[in-house]
A and B are shown apart, each in its own frame.
Chain A
Amino acid sequence: MVRRFIIKRLLIALLQLIGISIVVFFMIRLLPADPVARLVGFNASEEAVQQATESLGLHYSSGQQLLNYVGVFSVTGEPGIINGYLGKSWVTSEPILHEVTRFLPITLEMITYALILAFIIALPLGMSSATRPGGAADKFTFVWGLFAGSQPEFWWGILFVFIFFFALQQAGLPHAPAPLGRIDPLLDVPNSITGFILIDSLLRGRLDIFINAAHHLMLPVLTLVFVVSGPIVKMIRQNMIRVIRSDYILYARSAGLPPRKIALYALRAAMAPAMTLTAIIYGFLLGGAVPVELIYSIGGIGEYSIRSIISFDYPAIQGTVLVIAMVSLIIYLALDIVHAMLDPRITF
């Protein structure tokens, strides 16, 4: 059953990806932009423009360009996305796939840690504010949610840089590193294995890099946790309140189950919807963590996509959209499977 469901979902995802790439392909070309001018400058000669247009393949009709991009009936003879080739960047001439695989893990690493941490923090907080509505934990959550959610994350980012880097440094206290990347400029990023710098450095046995990178990741992750935890805590609190008042928890108490077991019963029922929310936030942050990436100069996929858009780098834009969509779909699928394992009422 499960296998059939996964295969079905993957096939649907494939169709979605094809749809997305076609839509994105045409939408970019609908923009009133001139990538050629961007490349050769506005005062370039007729021939230079002509040459640039041809080298970018823009002299073909839109339909032909799409075929070139997809890789069927391609006139250029180059492979297309069906061969797993996303094209070359018009700016750097590097294959898009290389660039994406370099930048994507950076963002993934940051938001994965942030969401795991947010969930770990939100769970006890949500539970304790549900078990004692109006108690200290509940009030704290309320104020926090109000505060954190009402300010944009780049503002918090700047504030955190100010407090934890600048102010603490001025005061001569231990402080966060300067927001200038994910590792000290004097150190080298270890060769990629997983792309996650903390994991790679451990795998390569470089504890110094690990500590340094963790130090650098601290503030960006903290900023994200600070902003996204609010809704997760609220979700867990709401679910928990509903569950605590449910007949089955009352019945569990009337059957004399030990408190630990009752807490597990409640947790199990309250967790599933919160996980869905977490995954939705994850999907959103893939492209939406740009402000945080920029403030801390992380150089992730968000920053890369902004750069591609500004420079009208069509293949790069198409590639990023496609890869982000793919990652989102995989995450949703994984989540649906986990959700179904938690809740037997969900059938495939």
Chain B
Amino acid sequence: MVDNINNKQDLESPIIEAEDVTVRFPLIDTPDVYAVKNFNISVKPGEFVGLMGEPGCGKSTAAMSLLGLVRPPGIFESGSVKYMGKDLLQMEDEEVRSIRGKDIGMITQNPRYSLHPMLRVGDQISNVFRAHNKVSSKEAWSHAVDMLKLVGINDPERRVKAYAHELSSGMAQRVLIAMALSSSPKLLLADEPTSGLDVTIQAQFLDQMWDACRQTKSAVLLVTQDLGIVANYCDRVLIMYEGQIVEDSDVFTFFKSPKHDYSKRILQLQREAQEAGDAVATNIDQKSDPLMKVNSLIKEFPIRGSKSRVHAVDNATFELRSGECLGLVGESGSGKTTIGRCVLRLEQPTSGEIIFRDERLDTLSIKDFQEKRSNLQIVFQDPLDSLNPRWTVEQVLKEPLDLHTKMTEQEKMSRISELLNLVGLEASMRQALPREMSAGRQQRTSIARAIASNPDFIVLDEPTSALTPETTAEIIRLLMDLSTSLGISYLFISHDLTTIKYICHRVVVLYLGQIVEVGTKEQVFNDPKHPYSRALLAAHLFPDTSDRRVDRDVRESLEGEIPSPVTENLPKGCYLYGRCSHQLDQCRDMKQKLTKMEDGRFVGCWRVSEGAL
């Protein structure tokens, strides 16, 4: 193990200490896999430790091994896992069992799959509590209610009776936390606990864990791939590579001078993307005629067998200039994907105008619109899903050329070579099938297909959310290069503010289908005005240790969860009413209008436009 810092903590003996742990997965027909090999770790009380690494490096198996558990059919080959000096791997079953869930709590990546689908969550929490505490089932049940209240679930008396499938993933995650914390463990293992959660929920949850860690002197081992989480919460960072810990440094040292090649690489990529982002020319002429105008776009989806409707997009108005990258940000259910689809007529808008180069797109017949498609393209979130699994890269790239150009076969072939070159794919990839390529290469193929017909405008629908942080940085670079060299405008849809910050010129912030703020990147990121933008920015974790969320005096956050956008659920006045920390009574019944501010941005909050905020 590498040298470790923090003298104060060195005085205390570790809660958990693993030495030389090796986990083998016996496989039939193929050589056995060693998910974890000679793994060493030690965590002290009150520490918040981050465990990072590429997918498949053994992080999850390593975390699980600290409970003396492996996922079947894995087996412990060697090593020891000492909890308070006693080896879990040598203990009697009953003794280990009394430690699991009581002294060491676990939170897993897929909360809904970790809950039994046929038992009420209250029963599951009670069962865990009763496994470690001598209480009646009635006491355990009321303890379960208390725990749900503690982790911030509204209406715990009702939720305690819910089943896993009735909960949102955010709520299921909290149930798991309630279960993990029910016996006040001294060590909490959290395996990518926030993947799939929205940023504001993620912040609520990590804040809670941080507070618990500091107040009760319990320790947290957080498995993650997110540099932002590490930078903002962790005291110490462990890097795992091919089943081993290869780097162990405190968080500030890690970001300043990473040691291992993998750490250097991810931080370097991050830095490059950031620098490129800072260099993005923000002087897009906002006076010039817009390339695309969206006026009062509304999209509602009927619900089968019910009179109510889902309000996906509510009166959205914005413009996009030539060569501009406009970011569309918001949490799940904010309507950003629906806007992207309406703009391309993949969904027919309920009402509103979509104007591209002074021509109404929304009223064109499907046949006439078909001709426009070569000019308006899209790249989807999941690269594998959006490529035909039976087509080679060449076939994928040839399709748009067949459809939209009158090239000869030979011209098409040379155009394909050109495209491969543009997106940085090796010529040898030409005959590859999608599943034979890495996710990054798949997404490059998707991008190449989108630019094949020389479009002026591309909708990028979360193009990087299915990718590792490393690949994300590469794809962002590629998209930026293409935008400058080919003059393409982007509508960039993402819930990830970090990528938006790198690539976009202007940003549209969405909440519950409504636009709440539109402004330049600087305006929105450096000085957000709308209470929702503020909370979103404050909750977002940038990979930067100079302004850690845990060090801030006030952690701006939102209460509760985003309501579902169904007719009768929608708030009467301001959609943020009930969650906003700046709300007044008037907000409840007052509809908000997007108003232009002095500095040119638009904000949909009456208190902001009156200068009160």
Judge whether A345 and B117 touch: CB under 8 Å: yes
Q: Give CA–CA (A244, B119) in the complex, Å.
A: 16
- Closest chain-A Cβ to B148's Cβ sits at a distance in Å of 16
Judge whether A247 and B114 touch: CB under 8 Å: yes
Judge whether A261 and B131 touch: CB under 8 Å: yes
Among B99, B101, B114, B116, chain A packs the most CB atoms within 10 A around the CB of B116
Judge whether B116 and A248 touch: CB under 8 Å: yes
Q: Give CA–CA (A184, B116) in the complex, Å.
A: 52
- Closest chain-A Cβ to B207's Cβ sits at a distance in Å of 24
With A247-B110, A251-B108, A256-B102 given, is the CB distance from A268 to B118 under 8 Å? yes
Judge whether B97 is part of the interface by a CB distance below 8 angstroms.
yes
Q: A227-259 CB contact bits vs B (8 Å, 1 = yes)? A: 000000000000000001111101111111111
Judge whether B69 and A256 touch: CB under 8 Å: no
Which A250-275 residues have a C-beta within 8 angstroms of B?
A: 250-259, 261, 265, 268-269, 272
Judge whether B71 and A245 touch: CB under 8 Å: yes
Which B73-120 residues have a C-beta within 8 angstroms of A?
A: 93, 96-102, 105-106, 108, 110, 113-119
Judge whether B221 is part of the interface by a CB distance below 8 angstroms.
no
Judge whether B101 and A250 touch: CB under 8 Å: no
Judge whether B108 and A256 touch: CB under 8 Å: no
Q: Which residues of B contact A254 (CB under 8 A)?
A: 64, 67, 69, 100-101, 106, 108
Q: Give CA–CA (A272, B117) in the complex, Å.
A: 12
Judge whether A265 and B72 touch: CB under 8 Å: no
- Closest chain-A Cβ to B46's Cβ sits at a distance in Å of 23
Judge whether A342 is part of the interface by a CB distance below 8 angstroms.
yes
Which B27-82 residues have a C-beta within 8 angstroms of A?
A: 64, 67, 69, 71-72
Q: Give CA–CA (A272, B114) in the complex, Å.
A: 19
Q: Give CA–CA (A251, B132) in the complex, Å.
A: 15
Judge whether B101 and A343 touch: CB under 8 Å: no
Judge whether B118 and A258 touch: CB under 8 Å: no
Q: Give CA–CA (A219, B3) in the complex, Å.
A: 75
Judge whether A174 is part of the interface by a CB distance below 8 angstroms.
no
Q: How many residues of B contact A (CB 8 A)?
A: 33
Judge whether B114 and A244 touch: CB under 8 Å: no
Judge whether B127 is part of the interface by a CB distance below 8 angstroms.
yes
With A245-B72, A247-B108 given, is the CB distance from A257 to B116 under 8 Å? no
Judge whether B127 and A345 touch: CB under 8 Å: no
Judge whether B356 is part of the interface by a CB distance below 8 angstroms.
no
Judge whether A344 is part of the interface by a CB distance below 8 angstroms.
yes
Q: A73-105 CB contact bits vs B (8 Å, 1 = yes)? A: 000000000000000000000000000000000
Judge whether B72 and A244 touch: CB under 8 Å: yes
Q: Which residues of A contact B67 (CB under 8 A)?
A: 254
Q: Give CA–CA (A157, B64) in the complex, Å.
A: 52
CB < 8 Å neighbour of A257 from B93, B96, B131: B131
CB < 8 Å neighbour of A251 from B98, B99, B114: B114
Judge whether A269 and B117 touch: CB under 8 Å: yes
- Closest chain-A Cβ to B2's Cβ sits at a distance in Å of 28
Q: Give CA–CA (A264, B511) in the complex, Å.
A: 44
- Closest chain-B Cβ to A109's Cβ sits at a distance in Å of 32
Q: Which residues of B contact A250 (CB under 8 A)?
A: 64, 69, 71, 108, 114
Q: Which residues of B contact A258 (CB under 8 A)?
A: 97, 131
Q: Give CA–CA (A345, B101) in the complex, Å.
A: 27
Q: Which residues of A contact B131 (CB under 8 A)?
A: 255-258, 261
Judge whether B360 is part of the interface by a CB distance below 8 angstroms.
no
Among B71, B113, B127, B180, chain A packs the most CB atoms within 10 A around the CB of B127
Judge whether B179 is part of the interface by a CB distance below 8 angstroms.
yes
Q: Which residues of A contact B114 (CB under 8 A)?
A: 247-248, 250-251
Among B99, B117, B163, chain A packs the most CB atoms within 10 A around the CB of B117
Judge whether B163 and A345 touch: CB under 8 Å: yes
Q: Which residues of A contact B93 (CB under 8 A)?
A: 259
Q: Which residues of B contact A272 (CB under 8 A)?
A: 118
- Closest chain-A Cβ to B177's Cβ sits at a distance in Å of 12
Judge whether B119 and A247 touch: CB under 8 Å: no
Judge whether B116 and A256 touch: CB under 8 Å: no
Judge whether B165 is part of the interface by a CB distance below 8 angstroms.
yes
Judge whether A248 and B128 touch: CB under 8 Å: no
Name which residue of chain B comes closest to A344, CB basis.
Answer: B163
Q: A322-348 CB contact bits vs B (8 Å, 1 = yes)? A: 000000000000000000001111000
Judge whether B69 and A248 touch: CB under 8 Å: no
Q: Which residues of B contact A269 (CB under 8 A)?
A: 116-118
Q: Which residues of A contact B118 (CB under 8 A)?
A: 268-269, 272, 342-345
Q: Give CA–CA (A256, B69) in the complex, Å.
A: 11
Q: Give CA–CA (A345, B132) in the complex, Å.
A: 29
- Closest chain-A Cβ to B531's Cβ sits at a distance in Å of 37
Judge whether B110 and A255 touch: CB under 8 Å: no
Q: Which residues of A contact B163 (CB under 8 A)?
A: 344-345
Q: Give CA–CA (A265, B180) in the complex, Å.
A: 18
Which A299-341 residues have a C-beta within 8 angstroms of B?
A: none
Q: Which residues of B contact A255 (CB under 8 A)?
A: 100-101, 105-106, 128, 131, 179-180
- Closest chain-B Cβ to A286's Cβ sits at a distance in Å of 30
Judge whether B128 and A256 touch: CB under 8 Å: yes
Judge whether A256 and B101 touch: CB under 8 Å: yes
- Closest chain-B Cβ to A132's Cβ sits at a distance in Å of 11
Q: Give CA–CA (A251, B71) in the complex, Å.
A: 10
Judge whether B100 and A248 touch: CB under 8 Å: no
With A255-B179, A257-B127 given, is the CB distance from A265 to B99 under 8 Å? no
Q: Give CA–CA (A54, B361) in the complex, Å.
A: 77
Q: Which residues of A contact B102 (CB under 8 A)?
A: 256
Judge whether B113 and A248 touch: CB under 8 Å: yes
With A256-B98, A268-B119 given, is the CB distance from A261 to B127 under 8 Å? yes
Q: Give CA–CA (A259, B114) in the complex, Å.
A: 17
Among A245, A248, A251, A261, chain B packs the most CB atoms within 10 A around the CB of A251
- Closest chain-B Cβ to A245's Cβ sits at a distance in Å of 6
Q: Give CA–CA (A248, B115) in the complex, Å.
A: 5
Q: Which residues of B contact A342 (CB under 8 A)?
A: 118
- Closest chain-A Cβ to B85's Cβ sits at a distance in Å of 19
Q: Which residues of A contact B69 (CB under 8 A)?
A: 250, 253-254
Judge whether B100 and A253 touch: CB under 8 Å: yes
Q: Which residues of B contact A247 (CB under 8 A)?
A: 108, 110, 113-114
Q: Give CA–CA (A256, B94) in the complex, Å.
A: 9
- Closest chain-A Cβ to B303's Cβ sits at a distance in Å of 16
- Closest chain-B Cβ to A263's Cβ sits at a distance in Å of 13
Judge whether B101 and A248 touch: CB under 8 Å: no
Judge whether A265 and B116 touch: CB under 8 Å: yes
Q: Which residues of B contact A245 (CB under 8 A)?
A: 71-72
Q: Give CA–CA (A256, B68) in the complex, Å.
A: 11
Q: B160-177 CB contact bits vs A (8 Å, 1 = yes)? A: 000101000000000010
- Closest chain-A Cβ to B76's Cβ sits at a distance in Å of 14
Q: Give CA–CA (A344, B119) in the complex, Å.
A: 8
Q: Give CA–CA (A252, B176) in the complex, Å.
A: 11
Q: Give CA–CA (A256, B105) in the complex, Å.
A: 9
Q: Give CA–CA (A252, B115) in the complex, Å.
A: 8
Which B270-298 residues have a C-beta within 8 angstroms of A?
A: none
Q: Which residues of A contact B128 (CB under 8 A)?
A: 255-257
Q: Which residues of A contact B115 (CB under 8 A)?
A: 248, 251
Q: Give CA–CA (A1, B612) in the complex, Å.
A: 51
Q: Which residues of A contact B100 (CB under 8 A)?
A: 253-256
Judge whether A256 and B71 touch: CB under 8 Å: no
Q: Give CA–CA (A239, B119) in the complex, Å.
A: 17
- Closest chain-A Cβ to B330's Cβ sits at a distance in Å of 29
Q: Give CA–CA (A268, B163) in the complex, Å.
A: 14
- Closest chain-A Cβ to B286's Cβ sits at a distance in Å of 50
- Closest chain-A Cβ to B191's Cβ sits at a distance in Å of 10
6 contacts between A and B (CB under 8 A): A254-B64, A254-B69, A255-B100, A256-B128, A257-B97, A272-B118
Residues of B at the A interface (CB closer than 8 Å) are 64, 67, 69, 71-72, 93, 96-102, 105-106, 108, 110, 113-119, 127-128, 131-132, 163, 165, 176, 179-180
- Having A255-B131, A256-B99, one finds 4 other A-B pairs with CB under 8 Å, namely A255-B106, A268-B119, A344-B118, A345-B163
Give 9 nearest A-B pairs by CB, closest first.
A256-B101, A256-B100, A255-B101, A251-B114, A247-B113, A254-B106, A344-B163, A255-B128, A248-B116
